[in-house]
Amino acid sequence: MATLYYTESGQGEPLLLLHSGGMSGAEWKPHLPLFARAFRVIVPDHLGHGRSPMIAEKLTVADMGQAILELLDELGLARAHLVGSSMGGAVALWLTVHHSDRVSALVLYRVGYRKDEVTHAGTRSMADPAYWRGVGMHKWLSDIHQPQGGPDAWETVIGRVSEALEPVTTDHAHDLEILERITQPTLIVVGDRDPVAPLDQILEMFGAIPNVGLWVMPYATHVTATNTWRAESFALEVSRFLQRQK
């Protein structure tokens, strides 16, 4: 039995939506009705997030990727489309690099191909509970991460994410030569002012991956409004990209 908690909706080709660090599958709620029109949408909670347990002392991208592979096996899916947001994008890229045969098409949203001290600074700032209290999301995070150990467990969850992406130890550490070997149709989506996935690194990815498209959202940081007023355009653009690959 797979470790991860997940939900399903819709019918069609399988599409996995991989949420960002510190969130849960609930991140994708605004997009589900649109994606479910054309796809069998599978939305897991990553290890140590939401309703999915931790399986080790430390959270790693590789462990999260292995858990997704186990979920695909349990569902009897040889391949699936992957859409990964931020840390979920790191998991999606890890799966594409190490288990290419399981990925049909790839959407990398708000994520580069490696972590360094500059990009990790933004990740580290989001591991501070004061950040989330400042933007008014701490109560929501407390609710979705109650299964991790109670009302304050969300603070542990966001700390795990920063640790998993620590530049010296993270397995989100690819190079351009590896990206050149990606054969899947790929779409990169990013804000033009994202300090966590800076545009210069994104353009390096765009130049390296052979079959790739790029969508740069104007006046957008790591917060791109794709859960609010951009939600419909995001789901429609990603759906069109995935359907184009048939």
Secondary structure of the chain in the HEC alphabet?
Answer: CCCCCEEEECCCEEEEEECCCCCCHHHHHHHHHHHCCCEEEEEECCCCCCCCCCCCCCCCHHHHHHHHHHHHHHCCCCCEEEEEECHHHHHHHHHHHHCHHHEEEEEEECCCCECCHHHHHHHHHCCCHHHHHHCCCHHHHHHHCHHHCCCCHHHHHHHHHHHHCCCCCCCCECCHHHHCCCCCCEEEEEECCCCCCCHHHHHHHHHHCCCEEEEEECCCCCCCCCCCCCHHHHHHHHHHHHHHCC
| pLDDT tens digits, 109-159 | 999 999 999 999 999 999 999 999 999 999 999 999 999 999 999 999 999
Task: State the pLDDT at residue 135.
Answer: 92
- The pLDDT value recorded for residue 15 is 98
Q: What is the pLDDT of residue 2?
A: 72
pLDDT < 70 positions in the chain: 1, 246
For residue 44, what are its two tokens? 């897991």
pLDDT at 244: 87
CATH T-level assignment (fold) for domain 6-240? Rossmann fold (3.40.50)
Angle at CA of residue 181, ends 176 and 187, nearest 5°: 80
Neighbours of 7 (CB within 10 A): 16
In tens, the pLDDT along 145-162 reads 999 999 999 999 999 999
Q: And the tokens for 56?
A: 């080790």
CA 185 to centroid of chain Cα atoms: 17
User: Backbone phi, then psi, for 41, in 5-degree steps?
Assistant: -95, 125
Task: Please state the length of the chain.
Answer: 246
How far is the CA of 113 from the CAs of 2, 48, 209, in angstroms? Answer: 27, 23, 11
C-beta neighbour count of 134 within 10 angstroms: 10
